[in-house]
Amino acid sequence: MILETQEEKDAFDYVWELASEITDRRGCNDLTQEEITKFKNLQIETTEMPSGKVYLRPATMDFDIVWWLKKQVKQ
């Protein structure tokens, strides 16, 4: 996804902040089985602690979808 204008960038940032706030306020909610099926191909980059190893895992939580979408933005 490419945001070409400042208005697009501002709008995306606005929606990003809303979604981040909502998922943060609700805590870590697992996706429903229907949502897992819908988003089954999404891979989320995760850093293992304390080793710092980075790997991909399937989306399993509500905030995973928000983070995945953020990573799709090309600046």
Per-domain residue ranges for the chain?
Answer: 6-71
- Per-residue pLDDT at 40: 92
Q: Is the pLDDT of residue 75 over 70?
A: no
Q: How confident is the model at residue 25 (pLDDT cuts 50, 70, 90)?
A: confident
Nearest to 64 by CA among 49, 40, 7: 40
Q: Is the pLDDT of residue 27 over 80?
A: no
* pTM for the model: 0.75
- Per-residue pLDDT at 24: 78
Instruction: For residue range 33-62, list pLDDT tens digits in order.
Output: 999 999 999 999 999 989 999 999 999 998
